[in-house]
A and B are shown apart, each in its own frame.
Chain A
Amino acid sequence: AQTVTQSQPEMSVQEAETVTLSCTYDTSESDYYLFWYKQPPSRQMILVIRQEAYKQQNATENRFSVNFQKAAKSFSLKISDSQLGDAAMYFCACSTSGTYKYIFGTGTRLKVLA
């Protein structure tokens, strides 16, 4: 069975600083994708970044980047130059071949301090 674990229920970061959110996953599939979603207080689910398991290069989207450690099954999200608008719940998710099911972690609430 696939699992996705986010061990940090809550994190805080000072505005303009850098923060890293952790995610570990477990799957027996060789072909899979990993995603980070952001859920602000508006409740919308917004895709932040995605990573293909076959790509060694870490994905980057502006201030957001990932540290993908395939052997360790780790997929952390780094937010640089944190802004007040980054305050949200962040979910890590994994999709694998065969089922098209997506498994989500329990989320990390990020607070950004002015």
Chain B
Amino acid sequence: DAGITQSPRHKVTETGTPVTLRCHQTENHRYMYWYRQDPGHGLRLIHYSYGVKDTDKGEVSDGYSVSRSKTEDFLLTLESATSSQTSVYFCAISGDGLNQPQHFGDGTRLSIL
């Protein structure tokens, strides 16, 4: 299995607080992604990265920011969490090449009260 670790696995927090989710990989892959998964919506891309300090927005990026200062770490930050950001968050990585599948972390269940 691809070496991807998400932390924390579960988090409960209050509206208005900042939250940071971490994704750590040991595969030295160039591409890293953050998704949220909600019932009826499947997986929606929040942000992705194609190298250190190179990031771009996905389809649901409002209210989220990311940073990638090292190849192995990709951080997702909710600056001021809202209840609509309650979701399961997945990190994924992929190697170079269009045929490379994404490998996923185990997900973080985030609840914002």
Which A51-106 residues have a C-beta within 8 angstroms of B?
A: 52, 91, 93, 95-97, 100-106
Q: Is the CB of B104 within 8 A of A45?
A: yes
* Binary flags per residue of B71-113, CB closer than 8 Å to A gives 1, else 0: 0000000000000000010101010001101111011000000
Q: What are 24 A-B pairs at a CB distance below 8 A?
A: A9-B40, A35-B101, A44-B104, A44-B106, A45-B92, A45-B102, A47-B101, A50-B99, A52-B99, A91-B43, A93-B43, A93-B102, A95-B98, A96-B98, A97-B98, A100-B31, A100-B50, A100-B94, A101-B48, A101-B58, A102-B92, A103-B45, A104-B35, A106-B40
Q: Is the CB of B104 within 8 A of A102?
A: no
Chain A: interface residue total (CB-CB under 8 A): 25
Contact surface of A with B, Cβ cutoff 8 Å? 6, 9, 31-33, 35, 43-45, 47, 50, 52, 91, 93, 95-97, 100-107
Residue of B nearest to A96 (CB): B98
Which B residues lie within 8 Å of A43 (CB)? 88, 106-107
| Given A43-B107, A45-B90: A105 touches B42 (CB 8 Å cut-off) | yes
